[in-house]
Amino acid sequence: MSPVVVPDREAMHALGRRLARLLRAGDLVLLVGALGAGKTTLVQGIGDGLAVRGPITSPTFVLARVHRPLGDGPALVHVDAYRLGSVAEVDDLDLDASLEEAVTVVEWGEGKAEDLAEDRLVVRIDRTSGVAADETRTVTVSGVGERWAGVPVPG
């Protein structure tokens, strides 16, 4: 997909809700972006769209949180791989045990979590300026694998 400009936190949250409409149990989403890029805000929107129990906060120190569904939808497994140094440490989290039944979103997963599933969405979030107060981001969503072939991802 072409990059989309996201002007603020509310728009990032809304993008997460739109992405949630495409997600189903077994899906893996990798979030790529610098510290403060809006990854957790996007996950909060995904959680709202999936209608899971919250609140959704960054799992930096617990590494992974499971948010159970409020209804019939899938759970959300929210992972923060920032403090993990290798693929082996991600593997130690035993995420594949819940991968089939939940939507798994991994912040800082690039280079560490790709082996969890052949099919995945990669969401890259980039700041558009060097001004700290500017909330504008450029977001690029790309599907990898057969699951995402031909699926129109929101922009």
Q: Is residue 74, in this structure, part of any structural domain at all?
A: yes
Count of structural domains within the chain: 1
Residue 155 lies in a domain: no
Query: Does 101 map to a domain?
Result: yes
User: Which pLDDT belongs to residue 82?
Assistant: 63
**Rounded-to-integer distance, Cα 147 and Cα 155, Å:** 18
Predicted confidence at residue 63, as pLDDT, reads 67
Looking at residue 111, what is its pLDDT?
82
Specify the pLDDT at position 24. 95
| pLDDT at position 83 | 58
Instruction: List the structure tokens of 83.
Output: 């403090």
Instruction: Say which CATH number the domain at 102 has.
Output: 3.40.50.300
- pLDDT (0 to 100) of residue 59: 64
**pLDDT for residue 142:** 92
pLDDT of residue 36: 86
Query: Domain of 21?
Result: 4-146
Q: Which residues of the chain have pLDDT under 70?
A: 1, 59-63, 82-99, 130-133, 154-155
Contact 40, 13 (CB under 8 A): no
Q: For position 84, what pLDDT does the model report?
A: 56
pLDDT the model gives residue 119: 94
CA–CA dist 89, 91 (Å, integer): 5
